[in-house]
Amino acid sequence: MSKKYAKMLYKSPIGPLSLVADDHYLFGIWIEEKSDFEKGLSENDVTVVESHPILNQITSYLETYFKEQDQDLSGLPLAPVGSDFEKRVWNYLRGIPFGQTVTYGQIAKDLQVASAQAVGGAVGRNPWSILVPCHRVLGAGGCLTGYAWGLEKKAWLLRHEGASYQENKK
């Protein structure tokens, strides 16, 4: 028997977001038009709901975020998914303050990992975008690189927070 999830749609300034949770944890946040949309779920696993205790809490967090207010997200009920390495990286991401950025290389150094690319892979598999702020991670020299939802959305989120970054030169 497959696990059942609840889903709410949230209309954000960067596009419609799908919020999915079970009875205890937020499973993921996705933007509708991207290829990783609801990765790992089938239509039979998900029921659209108007209200849900976990998703109502997540909606409240997102409302606060889009009002340009920082908040303590340490109590987020995140699903226990991912490898031990991914969990270490995602936990690090949760500690990046609103409006600040770090580089993949800095995360690798801080976590004593030999490869910034391995860090990039873990950052890219973060299922809780915005709330576990992978958009605050930049390439070397503060360049805007890599974001599952597209660089234009990453740039929007960084501008929204007042964070500085370098545009990629073509």
Q: In Å, what is the CA distance from 145 to each residue of 99, 165, 166?
A: 17, 10, 9
3-state helix, strand, coil in the chain (%, to 5): 35, 20, 45
The CATH number of the domain where 129 resides is what?
Answer: 1.10.10.10
Interior angle at CA 93, CA 54 and CA 82, nearest 5: 65
Residue 69 lies in a domain: no
* Rounded Cα distance, 149 and 151, in Å: 7
The residues pairing with 48 across neighbouring beta strands, listed in sequence order, are 7
Clarify whether 143 is annotated catalytic: no
Residue 44 lies in a domain: yes
| Same domain? 98 vs 42 | no
> What is the length of the chain?
170
The CATH number of the domain where 43 resides is what?
Answer: 3.30.160
Of the residues 123, 134, 148, 157, only one is catalytic, namely 134
Phi, psi angles (nearest 5°) of residue 118 = -65, -40
pLDDT in tens, 59-69: 999 999 999 87
Instruction: Name the residue range of residue 155's domain.
Output: 82-159
Residue 75 lies in a domain: no
- Which mean pLDDT values do the consecutive 10-residue runs of the chain (170 residues) have? 85 94 93 69 86 95 89 84 95 94 96 94 92 94 89 94 81
| Phi and psi based region of residue 54 (left: phi greater than 0; alpha: psi -120 to 50; beta: remaining) | alpha
Residue 58 lies in a domain: yes
Residue 34: what pLDDT? 60
Q: Looking at the whole model, is its pTM more than 0.85?
A: yes
Say how many domains are in the chain.
Answer: 2
